[in-house]
Amino acid sequence: MTAQRFSDFLNVLNVHRERLVSTTMAEMFDANPDRFLGFSLCLDSLVFDYSKNRIDRNSFEALIDMARSLEIESLRDAMFRGDIVNTTENRAALHVALRGSVSQDVEVDGKNVAEAIDSVLKRMRKFSSVVRNGFYTVTGGKILDVVNIGIGGSHTGPAMAARALDPFCDGPKLHFVSNVDGADLSSVLGSINPQTTLFIIASKTFTTAETMMNANTARKWLAENVGEENVGKHFAALSTNQSDTRKFGIDDERCFEFWDWVGGRYSLWSAIGLSLMIGIGPDRFDEMLSGAKTADRHFAEEPLEKNIPVIMALLGIWYRNIWNCSSHAILPYDHRLAGLPCWLQQLDMESNGKSIDRSGNPVDYDTAPVVFGEPGTNGQHAFYQLLHQGTNFVPCDFLLAANAQGEMFEHQMALAANCLAQSEALMRGKDEETVIAELVAGGMSKDQAKSLAPHKVFSGNRPSNTILYERLEPRTLGMILALYEHKAFVQGAIWNVNSFDQWGVELGKQLAADIEPSLKSGDDSEAANSSTACLIRAFAKFRE
Ligand code: F6P
């Protein structure tokens, strides 16, 4: 029997769409007042409400059947076993091992994974404690500022988590520099004292152009300020490439290793988390790992129909491939999660923004949507107009903490009310009759009301998930992030793409290396076309 493919299920799912296309979610709630109970799940201190989706029991079961037929469970088990799931790079994807979620005897290249992780974690704990306690001294004494220099997965994870866990950050002040744009580094350099700063160069490869340029500039700045002979102690490195960290002049004792089986966008849990660990302390870092482990266990053990990341993934596929939604909004009503949409952009779009399947053939269906978002209520005053009245609906994830750290009661109630109101408004909408009645009640003539009404109608029936959690603590954050990682995994497995490579970022890097000399010299003769040539010339002219 030939293996089943995702496209084999599109017809069946489309039949469900046809059946549901004229049924509203509001009608489904009316028909089943207990709908929430049937379409929600709890994990630890987190509630996942997916009842405001355009699904009924039959379509939900069809999605689950598809996941089962496409052998999601065995693909998942293969990842947890350390099999080579990243086939184009011939690597395992064992980020789950970083939170202790794989068997103790998993080996890669003859080395025990759990032992390797434990030994680096111990060194990270020791180093971060020493830095936090002020016992690691540099030119000006104890470390007061820590600057993480990295990009992509070597930046967004720790930067997002440091912001999310800011109330728990009681160590040196954390800064993050990623962009090759000098504005990024210079604004941080302008705010710190070189004598009391530790730079952490976070780069899996230690060859990424932006990171190396920022690292070299920081090194020069330090040498000018503390003397070349003192520079070394102001640096630590997080990398898989120890020969280059040595060449940069960073002692092995301050080089924290990770491995090629940790993908950049899955690396927060590895040595890449060192800046965060220095900020929040090793115990809280452990709590974050333990939250992620809870999500791992849930993903690995719960049946598909009770499995939060599986359901998140299937709903995403339902909207992407059956309802043609090309974007997905991440809407944290928790200001500290402001970095989450950006982290998820890399996670989802770098993992699953692919059009070639695992066997090297073009896919004949859509894959990852565009992920975007802003914290509530800021987004409401920017793009929610489109969410409510745009021509296409955009599936949304709302995230809400019941308790805020350092809460201001009135603010938290207003924030939460807005969150619940938005998902309700998206679902319920407002029909023309109601709009006219409201306008007339407000004193408008019936004719005027009728002509204005179409602009004020909300079609409704726009789906969303809500993730409600007790409080944004390290453990909760770990759980939320790991759930999204597993969601991306399931989607990649169903779309049959390799979620762990990112060849799509290479071409731009190559061309930038070709173009940079022309920009420096102003000579456009090597430019590939008239657009690039003229832009090089105009750029040179503006710089005269
Ligand atoms: O953007 C491509 C990418 O390879 C990401 O996957 C990665 O997170 C980022 O660059 C940074 O890479 P590195 O950690 O090797 O500097």
Q: Whose CA is nearest to atom 2 of ligand 1?
A: 505
Pairing mode, strands 46-49 and 464-471:
antiparallel
Q: Which residue has the tokens 């409704």?
A: 460
CA of 177 to the centre of ligand 1 (A): 14
CA 487-488-490 angle, 5° bins: 65
By three-state DSSP, how is residue 21 classified?
coil
Alpha-carbon Rg for the chain in angstroms: 25
The mean pLDDT of 497-514, rounded to a whole number, is 97
Phi and psi based region of residue 361 (left: phi greater than 0; alpha: psi -120 to 50; beta: remaining): beta
Look up residue 168 and give its two tokens: 């728990």
**Length of the chain, in residues:** 544
Q: pLDDT tens across 213-261, in order?
A: 999 999 999 999 999 999 999 999 999 999 999 999 999 999 999 999 9
Catalytic residue at 253?
Answer: no
d(CA 427, CA 135): 56
Torsional sign, CA 443, 449, 454, 457? positive
Confidence of residue 3 (pLDDT cuts 50, 70, 90): confident
Catalytic residue at 509?
Answer: yes
Q: Whose CA is nearest to atom 8 of ligand 1?
A: 153
d(CA 524, CA 114): 53
β-pair partners for 327: 370
Q: Whose CA is nearest to atom 3 of ligand 1?
A: 152
**What is the predicted pLDDT for the residue at 2?**
66
**What is the predicted pLDDT for the residue at 453?**
98
Residue 180 CB less than 6 A away from ligand 1: no
Residue 151 CB less than 6 A away from ligand 1: yes
Residue 233 CB coordination number (10 Å):
18
CA of 153 to the centre of ligand 1 (A): 6
Q: Give all strands (DSSP E) within 139-234, no chain letters.
A: 141-142, 145-149, 173-177, 197-202
**What is the predicted pLDDT for the residue at 175?**
98
Instruction: Give Cα 35 to chain centroid, integer Å.
Output: 30
pLDDT above 60 for 197: yes
Ligand 1 binding pocket mutation candidate from 95, 148, 154, 177 (most atoms within 8 A of CB): 154
Confidence of residue 406 (pLDDT cuts 50, 70, 90): confident
As a whole-number percent, the residues of the chain with pLDDT over 90 amount to: 99
Q: Select which of 210, 257, 287, 350 is catalytic.
A: 350
CA of 510 to the centre of ligand 1 (A): 15
The mean pLDDT of 188-200, rounded to a whole number, is 98
Q: Which atom of ligand 1 is nearest to the CA of 205?
A: 15
Ligand 1 binding pocket mutation candidate from 204, 268, 269 (most atoms within 8 A of CB): 204
d(CA 179, CA 505): 15
Q: pLDDT tens across 297-332, in order?
A: 999 999 999 999 999 999 999 999 999 999 999 999
What stretch of H or E contains 255? strand 255-257
Q: Whose CA is nearest to atom 1 of ligand 1?
A: 152
d(CA 203, CA 196): 23
Average pLDDT value over all residues in the chain: 97
Catalytic residue at 456?
Answer: no
**What is the predicted pLDDT for the residue at 460?**
98
Residue 351 CB less than 6 A away from ligand 1: no
The mean pLDDT of 172-192, rounded to a whole number, is 98
pLDDT above 60 for 161: yes
Residue 154 CB less than 6 A away from ligand 1: yes
Among the listed residues 491, 517, 515, the one whose alpha carbon sits nearest the alpha carbon of residue 75: 491
pLDDT above 90 for 281: yes
What stretch of H or E contains 271? none
DSSP result, 83-152: ---BTTTTB---GGGGGT-S-TT-EETTEEHHHHHHHHHHHHHHHHHHHHTT-SEETTEE--EEEEE--G
CA of 154 to the centre of ligand 1 (A): 7
Look up residue 376 and give its two tokens: 């509530």
d(CA 395, CA 382): 17
**What is the predicted pLDDT for the residue at 511?**
96
**What is the predicted pLDDT for the residue at 4?**
87
Q: pLDDT tens across 363-380, in order?
A: 999 999 999 999 999 999
**What is the predicted pLDDT for the residue at 1?**
56
CA of 84 to the centre of ligand 1 (A): 20
Phi, psi of 271 (to 5 degrees): -55, -25
Confidence of residue 413 (pLDDT cuts 50, 70, 90): very high
The pTM is what? 0.97
Q: pLDDT tens across 437-486, in order?
A: 999 999 999 999 999 999 999 999 999 999 999 999 999 999 999 999 99
